[in-house]
Amino acid sequence: MVPFLRPTLIYDGDVTKVQLDDLKKLNAAGLILDLDNTIMAPKSAKLEPEVKLWLELMKKNFKIVILTNNKKAFYLEAVRQVLELPVIGFAKKPWSIGIKEALDILKLSNDKIVVIGDRPLTDIWLGQRFKLKAILVKALTAHIEPKWKYYLRKLEWSFVNKSKG
């Protein structure tokens, strides 16, 4: 298998480990955040206190759009209420369906946008396709997942080129 995904940064931790300074260094003005397992545990519609704090800080510094492949309209509405951010569902990452709407909302040049997500083949590939910067983080619930999910994640991470430069 040839690793073809090159995240701009890889974190050995969840989204709360992403520092404001790191994003400033990347020249970020806008963020496209994945939902499930990046910002919230799947199906929870709930922000953990640490993530909430992190998000408050990011909201003060960047334009933010949530982009998710989640297709449950009712759930997405609940998430919208909790986050008080634009939430685009049915995104079909890494394809073009939802990202166009996200770029429309952000109204920034692509090199000023950073995608942050836990999935190489959706979030990172999307970033790469649209020449956005992309940060790969660990899934929020990775530590309580069943074994099969762990192996699936490992397989997906095998597409990631971890060499520098």
| Nearest approach, Cβ of residue 35 and Mg ion (Å) | 7
Q: Which of 37, 69, 70, 128 binds Mg ion (CB under 5 A)?
A: 37
Q: Which of residues 3-32 bind Mg ion (CB under 5 A)?
A: none
Which of these ranges, 20-28, 77-85, 112-120, 130-138, lies near Mg ion under the rule CB under 5 A?
112-120
User: In the chain, what is the greatest distance between 2 CA atoms, to the nearest angstrom?
Assistant: 43
Q: Kindly tell me which of 103 and 118 has the beta carbon lying closer to Mg ion.
A: 118
Q: Which of 30, 65, 75, 118 binds Mg ion (CB under 5 A)?
A: 118
Which residues contact Mg ion (rule: CB under 5 A)? 34, 36-38, 118-119
